[in-house]
Amino acid sequence: MVIGVIGYGASTNAVENIILQGANSITGTVMVGGIVGGGFCDIKNSSAAADITLPEGDEVGMAGILAGGMEDGSIIACTVTGGSISAPAGSIGIGGLAACAQLSAEVKNCAVSNVTITVGENCFMIGGLLGFAGTYAPDPPTSIDSCTVSNVTISTPTNAERIGGIIGSGFYSSMYAAMASMPGYEFLGAPGAFTVTNSTSSGSITGNCTDLVGKIAGYIYDNSTVAGTCTSTMTGATNNVGGDKNSFALSTLK
């Protein structure tokens, strides 16, 4: 884990009122964030600006300008005010705000502006706000509410997938799906569940990537929704949702 402030937030106390500003350059391979690299804590009322670089190598990904791999913690009233993320081939979970909000209750009143995200070959789960998010039954879906992505550019090669102006998708990887037949790992057989409401995106998705590219979400399964209250002027995608279970079966995903 590589960060500018906190490596791993394992406390039940929230990370609050932290501002990372100025010219910040951060380089790391996995769980990379400007304020928190990863953890189980809530993050509230915090702001970051940074340029993040993931070098070439095995098992790279899980990067966001505010936070990297967050699990079981909410992100509330946080902002990213500029910067960039550069990720090499094979990276997963790249988001302008955070790599992910896995098993999280909510991501609310957050904003990302003036950010450029550039990813390499065969990357997936890339979003202007979050790379991926979601919970598993019987927990309610992760709520992504009243969030804004503005002037964000996501540049992807043609073979990237699950690219969204707000979120890439719920967590799903064919590599881990093979474990779904094992006792205790059944949840890996479907993507995590989330809802997106009252959120907006603007900017562009470039690079002629056409598979599972959406102005709001790259891919939704039947346990997730993007509400009609979401709007977008983001170019490079035709619809708010790039694809769903009916148009792209799980077996076709990376």
pLDDT of residue 37: 85
pLDDT of residue 6: 55
Tokens 């790249």 sit on residue:
94
Q: Strand, coil or helix: what is 251?
A: helix
Between CA 65 and CA 74 the distance in angstroms is: 16
Q: Does the residue 249 lie in any domain?
A: no
Other CB atoms within a 10 A radius of the CB of residue 120 amount to 18
Q: Which two tokens stand for residue 128?
A: 């202007």
pLDDT of residue 186: 82
Q: Does the residue 101 lie in any domain?
A: yes
Tokens 């502006």 sit on residue:
113
Query: Across the 254 residues of the chain, what is the mean pLDDT of every consecutive 10-residue run?
Result: 50 82 86 89 95 83 93 96 95 97 97 97 96 95 98 95 98 88 84 97 92 95 96 96 93 91
- Domain span at 238: 2-244
Q: Which two tokens stand for residue 135?
A: 């919970």
pLDDT of residue 2: 41
How many domains in the chain? 1
Q: Does the residue 252 lie in any domain?
A: no
The CATH number covering residue 107 comes to 2.160.20
